[in-house]
Chain A
């Protein structure tokens, strides 16, 4: 199985900050990577697919990059509404696997 490792596990930042989350795959997944945002008590919401494609209606402050085994999710200007847990997921091969999540706290 392909293991996905996110870092950091938690981060605290202020409104307006630039935030970066890293996701590493245990083997190459080309660009078959998605990022999801999950607010407490809610279902996950797709932000980025194919490593860098922004899903419809997702704010432009979210961006993704990377290929192969290393990927990043960047929030260019953190907003209070971005307080959530973020997950990466590979869909290169079954079983599809998720990272353990990164909890973002907005100070």
Chain B
């Protein structure tokens, strides 16, 4: 069974940093591209970052570019998102998402809540 389990969400002060992790199981992690997608409270879905199966290519949404770094460790079956300079508008549930053939996002984790507030 495919499982994606996010961790690392927390209450963070504006300007702070956070690293989200995603533990993958039930599939060969190294053969899939991965996404981070977020959802602010009561709002819609926002794609924020993509990483290829071997670590490239890497893509970011403008809203997080320059403040965030996506990475992966295929030996540990793990995906990461380092976020710096956090802002109020980064408050959201962050989903780790598997990308399957052609680009469809076929499996989603349960999400990790990041709250940015003083």
Residue positions of A touching B, CB distance < 8 A: 32, 34, 36, 38, 43-46, 49-50, 55, 87, 89, 91, 94-101
Contact = CB atoms under 8 A, between A and B. Distances in A.
B47 A44 contact: no
Given A34-B105, A43-B95, A98 B110 contact: no
17 contacts: A32-B103, A36-B45, A38-B45, A43-B111, A44-B95, A44-B108, A46-B104, A49-B102, A50-B102, A50-B104, A87-B44, A91-B105, A95-B47, A97-B47, A100-B44, A101-B44, A101-B45
Nearest to A43: B108
B11 interface: no
Given A34-B104, A43-B108, A49-B104, A94 B50 contact: yes
Contacts, number: 55
Contacts of A44: 45, 95, 105, 108
Interface of B: 35, 44-47, 50, 59, 61-62, 95, 102-106, 108-111
Given A43-B95, A95-B59, A95-B62, A32 B102 contact: yes
Contact of B110 (A43, A50, A101): A43
Contacts of A95: 47, 59, 61-62
A98 B46 contact: yes
Given A38-B45, A50-B102, A89-B47, 16 more contacts: A32-B102, A34-B104, A34-B105, A43-B109, A44-B105, A44-B108, A46-B104, A46-B105, A49-B106, A55-B104, A55-B106, A89-B45, A91-B104, A95-B61, A97-B47, A100-B44
